[in-house]
């Protein structure tokens, strides 16, 4: 029979093989699912790690940026402080007075910035300390402005005082020059004027009588007389110098008569024969008489010069002659 419900001996039987294949496929599926799960976990864990690293890096960058910002603020504050104290010596003492507060603030700020593990709170505190430091620096800047204003005012006052001093010195120099000139004028004007000069050769007799003579060998003394006066010269003692030049051209000089050197205003130093002092009364005319004694008078001309206050005030000449047989 061609058609039957029974299997033919030539038809392959696959019931057992199908069951084995199914089990193998299930195992493969389970392994594949597990492998996929493992890879998924690895991928998830890696993504989380990368995310955490990114967060940490971002935090680190943020912290570094905050630290740098605080450092810049601190550097600016130090620059301001150095600029103030370096350019104004008058502030050095005041900075010293406030040095404890400033040093404390700088120390705390530096400690925070040097701490690598400083937190955001620490950096915020550092900012607050920098604000406080800047406040003190601002006070110093105001002090500098005040001192600068005072210095400018002092400089202006000093300049004015200097100018006034120069004017006073100029006026003083002018006054001194005028005073000196006036003193010189008064000094010169106070020099005596001499008049009525007379030179009388005298022979002294044994009985004490005196007789005028022109014979040289009989002359015992030359009596020089003259009048002096001045309306400006003050009352008091005054020195008069007499210079006697003999016929031989030599000035008579004898220590016993008090001879010496006289400084004149026109002729320089000059030998004088003798000096006499008078007591003068201002505005009056006074007659002066001085004798010149000598053991031997020469024949010829005797020149008499009178000096006072460095000036020559009078001059006269007297001739002595040689005596005759009956002279």
Domain chopping of the chain, boundaries? 31-189, 193-320
The reported pLDDT for the residue numbered 125 is 87
pLDDT at 59 exceeding the cut of 70:
no
Highest mean pLDDT among 67-81, 137-151, 155-169, 249-263: 249-263
Residues written for the chain = 327
The reported pLDDT for the residue numbered 36 is 66
Percent of the chain, pLDDT > 90?
A: 33
- Which residue do the tokens 């990114």 mark? 54
- What pLDDT, in 10s, does the model give residues 233-257? 889 999 999 999 999 999 999 998 8
- What pLDDT, in 10s, does the model give residues 148-163? 788 788 888 888 888 8
The reported pLDDT for the residue numbered 278 is 92
The reported pLDDT for the residue numbered 8 is 46
Helix 15-87 with 99-114: angle, nearest 10 deg: 160
Band (6; pLDDT cuts 50, 70, 90): very low
Contacts of 87 (CB under 8 A, 6+ apart): none
- Inter-residue contact 194 to 306 (CB < 8 Å): yes
The CB-based long-range contact list for 86-92 (8 Å cut-off, 24+ gap) reads 88/144, 88/147, 90/147, 91/140, 91/143, 91/144, 91/147
The reported pLDDT for the residue numbered 297 is 92
SS3 186: helix
The reported pLDDT for the residue numbered 49 is 58
The residue that leads in pLDDT, 86 or 15, is 86
pLDDT at 115 exceeding the cut of 80:
yes
Euclidean distance between CA atoms 278 and 276, whole angstroms: 7
Report the chain's mean pLDDT, rounded to a whole number: 80
The reported pLDDT for the residue numbered 58 is 55
Euclidean distance between CA atoms 9 and 14, whole angstroms: 13
pTM for this one? 0.50
pLDDT at 39 exceeding the cut of 70:
no
306 Cα distance to chain centroid: 56
pLDDT at 165 exceeding the cut of 50:
yes
Fold held by 193-320: Immunoglobulin-like (2.60.40)
């Amino acid at each position: 029979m061609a058609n039957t419900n029974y299997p033919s001996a030539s038809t392959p039987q696959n019931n057992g093989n199908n069951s084995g294949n199914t089990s193998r496929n299930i195992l493969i599926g389970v392994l594949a699912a597990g492998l996929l799960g493992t890879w998924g976990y690895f991928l998830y864990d890696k993504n989380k790690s990368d995310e955490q690293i990114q967060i940490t890096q971002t935090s680190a960058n943020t912290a570094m940026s905050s630290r740098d910002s605080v450092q810049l603020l601190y550097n600016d504050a130090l620059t301001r402080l150095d600029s103030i104290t370096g350019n104004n010596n008058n502030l050095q003492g005041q900075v010293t007075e406030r040095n404890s507060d400033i040093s404390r603030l700088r120390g705390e700020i530096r400690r925070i910035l040097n701490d690598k593990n400083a937190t955001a709170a620490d950096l915020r505190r550092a900012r607050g300390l920098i604000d406080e430091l800047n406040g003190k620096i601002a006070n110093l800047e105001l002090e500098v402005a005040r001192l600068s204003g005072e210095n400018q005012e002092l400089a202006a006052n000093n300049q004015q005082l200097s100018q006034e001093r120069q004017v006073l010195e100029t006026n003083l120099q002018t006054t001194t020059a005028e005073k000196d000139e006036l003193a010189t004028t008064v000094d010169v004007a106070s020099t005596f004027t001499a008049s009525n000069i007379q030179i009388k050769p005298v022979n002294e007799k044994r009985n004490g009588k005196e007789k005028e003579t022109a014979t040289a060998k009989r002359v015992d003394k030359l009596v020089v007389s003259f009048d002096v006066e001045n309306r400006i010269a003050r009352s008091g003692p005054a020195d008069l110098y007499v210079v006697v030049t003999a016929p031989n051209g030599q000035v008579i000089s004898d220590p016993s008569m008090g001879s010496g050197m006289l400084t004149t205003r026109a002729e320089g130093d000059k030998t004088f024969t003798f000096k006499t002092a008078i007591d003068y009364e201002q505005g009056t005319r006074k007659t002066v008489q001085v004798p010149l004694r000598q053991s031997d008078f020469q024949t010829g001309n005797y020149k008499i010069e009178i000096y006072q206050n460095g000036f020559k005030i009078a001059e006269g000449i007297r001739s002595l002659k040689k005596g005759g047989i009956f002279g």
